[in-house]
Amino acid sequence: MTHEEILKGLYDNTLVGNAPEVKDLTNKGLEENLEPESMLYDALIPSLEEVGARFERGDFFVPEMLIAGKAMAGALEVLRPLLAQTGAETVGKFVMGTVKGDVHDIGKNLVNIMLEGAGFEVIDLGVQVAPEKFIAAVEEHQPDIVGFSAFLTTTMPMFKANLNALEKAGLRDKVIVMVGGAPVTQEYADAVGADGYAADASQAVKLAKELIQKRRTSVPV
């Protein structure tokens, strides 16, 4: 199979939620020396974007979104060790979670993989994470950064709830807050008082490193 055929197969089979075929093609791609990043950014993510567009048009419903998401998650599991391959020293600690009321986790997991690949220790709290759980994790792990993911306009307000909870617990100044997720914007992040926003996984890694560097150089030792 050519690289183009594999990428097309990944796109088409993710779209219809054919998880076994997506997994086979991902392995095939690796055997054929296709870059993991290419499978991700040229096939899997565009396919999920098309799933979202079809859902918006009313051509797809929740079950179709669910099986497409599962197919993508299967491919991510195959790609995870390669995307997270690192010789980097630990650059910081990152507590991450999808906010309360929200079950989307593919984007969050991808950010986690890239962070690990860049040398971060990531503590993943999973999905539907309540403010109290974020607070307990910040107290327990004392991370450099806490990250909130939200994928619905209806769950984005949880950023503010989480920030208020950090403030109330006296932890706001002790941790950098990053936010992200499909509907989130820089303006929204600024409005709720987050320290940083990134649109995708690679930007998230870059920003996380910058924010830590900035904090370390500004805090007197």
Among 84, 123, 152, 171, binds ligand B1M (CB under 6 A): 152
157 binds ligand B1M (CB under 6 A): no
Window of 7-15, 25-33, 102-110, 129-137 that interacts with ligand B1M by CB under 6 A: 102-110
193 binds ligand B1M (CB under 6 A): no
Between 1 and 55, name the residue whose CB sits nearer to ligand B1M. Answer: 55
65 binds ligand B1M (CB under 6 A): yes
198 binds ligand B1M (CB under 6 A): yes
Binding mask of the shown chain, residues 12 to 51, with x at each position contacting ligand B1M by CB under 6 A:
---------------------------------x--xx-x
Window of 3-11, 14-22, 61-69, 134-142 that interacts with ligand B1M by CB under 6 A: 61-69
Integer Cα distance of 92 and 101 in angstroms: 28
71 binds ligand B1M (CB under 6 A): no
Give me the least distance between CB of 21 and ligand B1M, in Å please.
18
Window of 7-15, 116-124, 167-175, 195-203 that interacts with ligand B1M by CB under 6 A: 195-203
